Structure 1
Amino acid sequence: MISPASNFRIYLASQPVDFRKGLDGLAACVANNFQLDPYSGAIYVFRSRRADRLKILVWDGSGLVLIIKRLQGKQFTCPKPQTGPVTLTKVQFDALFDGIDWTKVVASPSRKPVFL
């Protein structure tokens, strides 16, 4: 399980990408299609046409990291196609990565303890 820090920006491509693309091809996709910096440390998530696989691209400070996940027997929930990426929260990303419908996940509001 990947568990990014809560301050990371997470972007999900709404359109499927050619899964033959590697690090450089996906970085070019981020720069050209999203007008974002693939070396910013944000997490970029791409899906296959069949929606059974994800590729995750992130710059860790010393190099690009590519993570691939394939679900067995089901598909990832995909957003409706749009021109730019969809921004995900950490909770939504965790649900997506686990194969859960991330569109129905809502983070519970954080509470501060009350001292008497």
Structure 2
Amino acid sequence: MRKSFEGLCGLVISVMQRQPTSGEVFVFLNRTRTHIKLLYWEPGGFVLYYKRLEQGTFAASDLNKGELSWSNLVLMIEGIQVVKSIQKKRYSLT
């Protein structure tokens, strides 16, 4: 968790094969899942969000899939774990 903007951008490019300026939010967790960093590009520059938990860990079960919805990301950061949920199918252009 020592990396800052440049180091995290390098990881996004080399490991994830993505562009850090794409507008996606990139999530980084430490091994013990007590620290989280979010890297996001907005017009004008990068935003780095960093949170350290004093107790407990972040639930990273959804991160293993490689992609995480915005609502699941917010729930993970707030420490809310949904045990069972059913998501209804919605119309999508893609």
- Common topology (TM > 0.5): yes
Aligned counterpart for 2:72 among listed residues 71, 92, 104? 92
1:53 is aligned to 35
AA aligned to 1:73 is Q
Residues 1:109 and 2:88 aligned together: yes
AA aligned to 1:28 is G
Aligned counterpart for 1:68 among listed residues 44, 50, 60? 50
CA 1:80–1:42 in structure 2 vs 1: closer, same or farther (change >3 Å)? closer
CA 1:42–1:34 in structure 2 vs 1: closer, same or farther (change >3 Å)? same
SS in 1 for 2:74: helix
TM-score, normalised on structure 1? 0.66
Contact 1:30 1:38 in 2 (8 A): yes
Contact 2:62 2:68 in 1 (8 A): no
TM-score, normalised on structure 2? 0.80
Count matched residues. 90
Contact 1:95 1:105 in 2 (8 A): no
Contact 2:75 2:81 in 1 (8 A): yes
Contact 1:44 1:58 in 2 (8 A): yes
Contact 1:45 1:57 in 2 (8 A): yes
| 5+ residue gaps, structure 1 | 1-18, 112-116
Identical positions, percent: 29
SS in 1 for 2:56: coil
| 5+ residue gaps, structure 2 | none
SS in 1 for 2:22: coil
What CA RMSD, in Å, does the superposition of the two structures yield over aligned residues?
Answer: 2.5
